[in-house]
Amino acid sequence: MAFNAEQLNIVLSAQTKDLRRELSNAEKRIKNFEAKSKQNLGGAGREFEMLASAAKRFAPAIAGAFSVQALTNAMQYAQEIENLARLSGTGVERFQEMAFAASKFGVQQDKLADILKDTNDKLGDFFQTGAGPMADFFENIAPKVGVTADSFRKLSGPDALQLYVDSLQKAGLSQSEMTFYMEALASDSALLTPLLANNGAEMERLGGKARALGIVLDEDLIRQTAQMNEVWATIMQSMSTNFTRFAAYVVTGFD
């Protein structure tokens, strides 16, 4: 689900409150654990006391910063949008506009990406072999409306899909025939027909609405956030490895 800056602030605020509460509870559990470790583990209790002290020092800093989960969600969302846009053969901003519009007709963004990818794949198959699901279209429909394979050759996924629907409409197909040709192109693509009818008028309207509502995130922001996701994953992996190494050192010190 897409969200704007205001919605992100709300999420961060709410999750930070939850984080503070959980850290407070965790600190109480740490104190209890620390006391028991001193009683039950003798000299080993000192190592646990050090860990408990470190955890208590870092807890306020973590709670005062931001919700790690909210940050992770934002980075993963940006990475997903970037990947889906690349799969679709379009830019991230246009993909977000299309995803918002398509969702109004029961097509979620991952399915939209699949439809656009299939459009490119089916066209590529025809360009290479002259056969495949697109053969019927170029034999029966294209000559009637004056389009050729070259008309599609350099188009992006969304533009190719739009020209395909425009051509079907110009050929005067019935609803059942329209559905047949749409589904031959990509599964569930017939759901997008109302969006793409009349040269994509409804798609254009809803895409503009998405921008007006602040749902479409800037391309640079998406790219930078997606890059940060890679950095964050590396940091978390390093932290996990080092914590495991430290824990192993403490445990082996008990022998």
pLDDT, residue 104, reads 93
pLDDT, residue 162, reads 96
Calculate ∠ Cα 26-27-31, nearest 5°.
Answer: 115
Cα 207 versus chain centre, distance = 18
Q: Are 115 and 191 in contact (CB under 8 A)?
A: no
Q: How far apart are CA 47 and CA 252, in angstroms?
A: 12
pLDDT, residue 228, reads 66
Q: What's this model's pTM, rounded to 2 decimal places?
A: 0.65
Digits of tens for pLDDT over the chain (255 positions)?
A: 444 444 444 444 554 555 556 556 555 655 555 555 455 544 444 544 554 555 455 455 444 444 566 667 777 788 888 889 999 989 999 999 999 999 999 999 999 999 999 999 999 999 998 888 899 999 999 999 999 999 999 899 999 999 999 999 999 999 999 999 999 999 899 999 999 999 999 999 999 999 998 888 888 777 777 666 666 566 666 666 766 766 665 556 544
Q: How many CA atoms lie within 13 A of 126 on its CB side?
A: 21
Residues 6+ apart with CB under 8 A from 88: 95, 112, 113, 116, 117, 157, 158
DSSP 141: I
The phi and psi torsions of 186 (rounded to 5 degrees) equal -160, 140
Residue 249, classified by CB atoms within 10 Å of its CB into exposed (0-12), middle (13-18) or buried (19+), is exposed
pLDDT, residue 215, reads 83
| The pair of three-digit structure tokens given for residue 29, joined into one six-digit string | 């559990």
For residue 2, the SS3 value is coil
pLDDT, residue 64, reads 47
pLDDT, residue 96, reads 93
Q: Which H or E run contains 79? A: helix 68-88
pLDDT, residue 1, reads 45
Query: Look-up: residue for tokens 């998406």?
Result: 222
Q: How far apart are CA 40 and CA 71, in angstroms?
A: 39
| DSSP H helix total and E strand total for the chain | 12, 0
Q: Are 171 and 145 in contact (CB under 8 A)?
A: yes
Residue 8, classified by CB atoms within 10 Å of its CB into exposed (0-12), middle (13-18) or buried (19+), is middle
DSSP 214: T
